[in-house]
Chains A and B, each alone.
Chain A
Amino acid sequence: AQSVAQPEDQVNVAEGNPLTVKCTYSVSGNPYLFWYVQYPNRGLQFLLKYITGDNLVKGSYGFEAEFNKSQTSFHLKKPSALVSDSALYFCAVSANTGGFKTIFGAGTRLFVKA
Chain B
Amino acid sequence: DGGITQSPKYLFRKEGQNVTLSCEQNLNHDAMYWYRQDPGQGLRLIYYSQIVNDFQKGDIAEGYSVSREKKESFPLTVTSAQKNPTAFYLCASSIPPNEQFFGPGTRLTVL
Contact = CB atoms under 8 A, between A and B. Distances in A.
Interface residues of A, number: 23
Interface of A: 9, 32, 34, 36, 41-46, 49, 51, 90, 94, 96, 99-102, 104-107
A101 B45 contact: yes
B100 A105 contact: no
The contact size tier of chain B is 20 to 34
Nearest to B58: A101
Contacts, number: 62
A45 B102 contact: yes
Interface string B91-111: 010001111111111010000
B60 to A, nearest CB: 13
Contacts of B56: 99
B50 A106 contact: no
